[in-house]
């Protein structure tokens, strides 16, 4: 395995001085170390395409090569700027991409990652992106990294480091400390339990990717509820609000749709709020669970605690239902249900989850079938 600190120092010795991207579980040790030590030349981007854009700007200003990190699922967000701007036939921008290989063939992973892992290398080839595989062998991987940097520098074109599972050794990085924030519940899971208790039995729920969907699944199990009301957005980070809006527009008018979102997800595709807020109807209810970090991929900070979501949601067309600590979460959800128009509320919770948190035991196809049957009633 690669030691994150030594690998970082090696990358720096090769002339890489700037780092940006979206955290990934396979890269969390490396990203965590970068976040701890590189306070000036490191930016956690809103999405992977934005990270590529930041890297382009950095190169234009400095003539140097940026490192852009992401999970392979994030390649979808990055394709546009990589092909339409960075390609050697367009602006010919050199950059080093570091991509975590979730769903690598032959290694067990979740369904949404298995597909992504299977198609990733053909995708890179179709995009005419040279890739170099990092397996966790110090001697071999250091040389591979140098080859990738030599390639991007020589050809003035992006090169990709494809990082296999367990390539990096563990690193205990400094996670988000929120000692001055008053939380609505002792944990996100406890908050979700209160939310689910108040959501009407005939309402549909669309939950964002990561820990929120996992905790909703387990909370339903604990309540002996079925899962047919919940669409668990296991992939497609940032698209839960759009899915919920589309559902709310065409669902039977007597049914409400609740989008249970996360701060990293909302930030990733924030423009979607303008559609659901301005065009949404009274049956659309948007709940933001804000813990200020990318919890499911390592706990690196988002900028969410610095965003005024009340002003933002109102500007996007929502009716904002303010939570305060003088009422319970259940009362807050009751106020959300009774509010006019598409409505938005923010519930602030601490980061972290219990170590024995499980994953959904039903497949995405089973989830889809059950929800369609529920919606047809």
Domain boundaries, the chain: 4-163, 188-375
End-to-end CA distance of the chain: 53
- Class of 188-375 in CATH: alpha beta
pLDDT at 253 over 90: no
Q: How far is CA 348 from CA 184, 227, 233, 259, 312, in A?
A: 6, 25, 21, 16, 16
Band of residue 299 on the pLDDT scale cut at 50, 70, 90: confident
Q: Give the percent of the chain with pLDDT over 90.
A: 87
pLDDT at 178 over 80: no
Question: Per the confidence metrics, is the pTM higher than 0.85?
Answer: yes
User: Exposure of 235 by Cβ count < 10 A (0-12 exposed, 13-18 middle, 19+ buried)?
Assistant: middle
CATH architecture for segment(s) 4-163: 3-Layer(aba) Sandwich (3.40)
CA 131 to CA 268: how far, in whole Å? 26
pLDDT at 284 over 80: yes
pLDDT at 173 over 90: no
Q: Once rounded to an integer, what is the mean pLDDT over residues 44-72?
A: 98
Note the pLDDT tens digit of each residue in 342-372: 999 999 999 989 999 999 999 999 999 999 9
């Amino acid at each position: 395995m690669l030691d994150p600190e030594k690998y970082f120092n090696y990358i720096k010795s090769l002339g890489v001085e700037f780092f940006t991207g979206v955290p990934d579980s396979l890269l969390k040790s490396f990203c965590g170390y970068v976040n701890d030590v590189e306070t000036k030349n490191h930016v956690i981007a809103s999405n992977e395409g934005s990270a590529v854009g930041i890297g382009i700007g950095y190169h234009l200003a400095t003539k140097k090569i940026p490192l852009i990190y992401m999970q392979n699922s994030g390649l979808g967000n990055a394709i546009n700027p990589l092909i339409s701007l960075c390609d050697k036939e367009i602006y010919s921008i050199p950059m080093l991409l570091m991509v975590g290989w979730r769903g690598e063939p032959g290694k067990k992973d979740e369904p949404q990652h298995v597909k992504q892992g299977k198609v990733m290398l053909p995708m890179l080839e179709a995009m005419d992106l040279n890739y170099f595989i990092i397996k966790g062998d110090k001697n071999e991987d250091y040389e591979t990294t140098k080859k990738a940097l030599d390639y991007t520098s020589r050809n003035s074109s992006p090169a990709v480091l494809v990082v296999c599972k367990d390539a990096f050794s563990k690193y205990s990085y400094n996670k988000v400390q929120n000692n001055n924030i008053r939380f609505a519940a002792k944990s996100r899971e406890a908050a979700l339990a209160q939310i689910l208790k108040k959501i009407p039995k005939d309402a549909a729920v669309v939950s964002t990717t990561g820990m929120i969907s996992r905790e909703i699944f387990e909370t339903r199990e604990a309540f002996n509820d079925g899962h047919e009301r919940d669409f668990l957005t296991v992939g497609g980070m940032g698209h839960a609000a759009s899915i919920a809006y589309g559902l709310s527009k065409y669902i039977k008018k007597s049914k409400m749709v609740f989008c249970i979102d996360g701060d990293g997800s909302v930030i990733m595709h924030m423009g979607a709020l303008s559609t659901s807020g301005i065009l949404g109807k009274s049956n659309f209810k948007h709940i933001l669970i804000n813990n200020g970090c990318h919890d499911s991929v390592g706990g690196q900070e988002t900028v969410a605690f610095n965003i005024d979501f009340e002003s933002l949601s109102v500007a996007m067309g929502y009716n904002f239902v303010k939570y305060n600590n003088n009422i319970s979460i259940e009362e807050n959800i009751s106020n959300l249900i009774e509010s006019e128009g598409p409505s938005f509320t923010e519930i602030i919770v601490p980061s972290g989850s219990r170590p024995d948190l499980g994953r959904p035991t039903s497949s995405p196809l089973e989830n889809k079938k059950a929800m369609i049957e529920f919606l047809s009633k």
